[in-house]
Structure 1
Amino acid sequence: MIVVTTPTGQIGTQLVRQLLHQGEEVRVIVRDASRLDHTVRRRVETIDGSHDDPAVLDKALPGVDALFWLVPPNPQAPSAEEHYLSFARAGSAAVARHDVGHVVGVSSAGHGWPTPAGVLSAAFAMDAELAKSGAAYRALSMPFYMENLLGQLDAIRTNGAFYLTCAGDLPLALIATRDIAGTAANLLTDLSWTGQENLPVFGPDRLTPDGMAEVISQELGRPVTYRRMSLDDYASLLRSRGAGDTAVKDVTEAFAAQDHGVYDADWATAKPTPTDFRSWCRDVLKPAADVQAP
């Protein structure tokens, strides 16, 4: 039996489908089971609730071979680190309590980064807490998600541009969520691994944001450029959307670390995953853009 948290998210949805396709028994922890696709809902066991709740975990984890762990984002949390740790403390204790042998967690690349890195540091703290459970643990260590660009479809369509805080002429490490799900599925279905490690999961490209804009332009059939946003401007944007000072600090510290190479050491050793940026644009970005087209 494999337990999957956040089964309706971008990664969890794809992971559950892969596990079911492989014939695995799957139990999910879900806040709203109605959000599960009906073809999935009838094939999985559901535990209602949130996985920061020990009582929910005590219902979900008995007899489990492996656990997929992902902390859902909460922009309203007063502190990213405390948000991650509130989940991780509950999870670590429950994993130890129920003797779950293997845990796969969604984390960030850059373990060992010497300065505060906001949300990334919160993920590193989560990994350390989960490791205390004694289970075999793999922290899937990822860079910038390609799917983050889906939130900029309006800007791409109306302004012909997308916006990040990093230099346009320096390579940006990328990963597609379907490759995160695929890596997790492989680990959860072959439990021959032992120990506790960080596992870098990076896509095959070495594209700059300017190069990404060229690919997007070609795949969408319209000119798209990259425009760099300063961290101060990004912080102002977050505040205009209601983010508090700590939340702004958590995000801008993460982007500052990204700009200064937090992913570089892991990128140098990572085995490339299958999905390149052009394929992702063709398979995911373009269909989404076509749906939103007026």
Structure 2
Amino acid sequence: MILVTTPTGDIGRRVLSNLRAAGMAVRLIARDPSKLPSDLQLDVIEGSMADAATIARALPSVTGVFWLPPGDPTMASAKAAYVDVSRAFCDALPESAVTHVVGISALGRGWPKPAGHVTATLAVDDMIAQTGVNYRALACASLMDNIARQAEPIRTIGRFFQPTPTDLKLPHVAKADVARVAADLLLSPKWSGVEAIPLLGPEDLSFGQMAAIMSEVLGREIIASEMPMDHFGQMMRDFGASDGMAQAYVEMLTAKNEGMDHLITGASRHNTPTTFRMWCEDELRPLVTG
């Protein structure tokens, strides 16, 4: 049996769908089971991933785990949202039947400065690795799907906003590809040891290039606008993020602007084939035009 965490999130629900399509027995941890599809018969443990009692109820008979802390923006810090949330799980692993864990991580191993969410996520990788399980950390580039959060300004004013120079090329990966890689690893647990797998997407793109692709797909001009980093931090606070989490977002995107995502070179891109144009056609266009 495979345990899936954060099953109502964009990546978790795709992992769940892929595992169920393959006929795998799956158990879920969900804080709010009412957000799960009501038409499916699901084995759900209601509770928080951070709670030791919830973990104890979820792990019996489980041999594989998809681990993804939800990154609650209202928590005090990125450490609280990722490391502290993962502590009960890591404490329980050595006495469990779990042999394989797949986690969502980030590019940035070796970056010498604070990188907010990335720093915390890499600390979770280290915690899981130290338990002795076989572990694959999916080191993701920026998720192109995050553009969908700006569907409204794209629709109404033809713009989207980033605290990043519009000509800076960065790797971007689709959540669908990330979820497929995660599910494939859990369905065929023939691997061993601890390893980070870079998920870079098929090509580096600037936000200016992404805007041009969006313009072609949507049939009207879309403009990428750079916003000051301090304005971005305040925007995250206005959206409900704590001061600590807003600062973590700022640190992460500052590190990306300074080159963190380019520490890895020569990694294969064949495992993440979805181009930004494909993503726009399949996922952004329905959101903007529907």
TM-score class, shorter: over 0.9
Equivalence for 2:69: 71
Equivalence for 1:260: 258
CA distance in 1, matches of 2:268, 2:222: 30
Matched position secondary structure for 1:269: coil
Structure 1 position 238, deviation (Å)? 2.7
- Structure 1 letter corresponding to 2:4: V
8 Å Cα contact 2:167/2:208 also seen in 1: yes
CA distance in 2, matches of 1:244, 1:13: 26
8 Å Cα contact 1:145/1:177 also seen in 2: yes
Where do residues 48-127 of structure 1 align in structure 2 (5 Å cutoff)? 48-127=46-125
Equivalence for 2:204: 206
Equivalence for 1:281: 280
CA distance in 2, matches of 1:34, 1:74: 18
Question: What does the per-residue CA deviation read over 1:51-70, in whole Å, with 9 as the maximum and x for residues that have no partner?
Answer: 11111111111121100000
CA distance in 2, matches of 1:34, 1:245: 30
Instruction: Give 5+ residue unaligned stretches, structure 2.
Output: none
Query: Match for 2:163 among 162, 165, 180?
Result: 165
Structure 1 position 169, deviation (Å)? 1.4
Aligned residues: CA RMSD = 1.4
Distance 1:190 1:157, change over 3 A: same
Structure 1 position 267, deviation (Å)? 5.4
Matched position secondary structure for 1:214: helix
Structure 1 position 181, deviation (Å)? 0.5
8 Å Cα contact 1:202/1:267 also seen in 2: no
TM-score by length of 1: 0.94
8 Å Cα contact 1:200/1:267 also seen in 2: no
Distance 1:205 1:102, change over 3 A: same
Structure 1 position 146, deviation (Å)? 1.2
**Identity over aligned pairs, percent:** 38
CA distance in 1, matches of 2:268, 2:51: 34
Equivalence for 1:193: 191
Structure 1 position 131, deviation (Å)? 1.3
Question: What does the per-residue CA deviation read over 1:9-59, in whole Å, with 9 as the maximum and x for residues that have no partner?
Answer: 1011111111111111111111122211134x31x3111111111111111
CA distance in 2, matches of 1:200, 1:254: 17
Question: What does the per-residue CA deviation read over 1:78-119, in whole Å, with 9 as the maximum and x for residues that have no partner?
Answer: 111122111221111112121310000111111121111011
CA distance in 1, matches of 2:48, 2:240: 25
8 Å Cα contact 1:92/1:131 also seen in 2: no
8 Å Cα contact 2:4/2:12 also seen in 1: yes
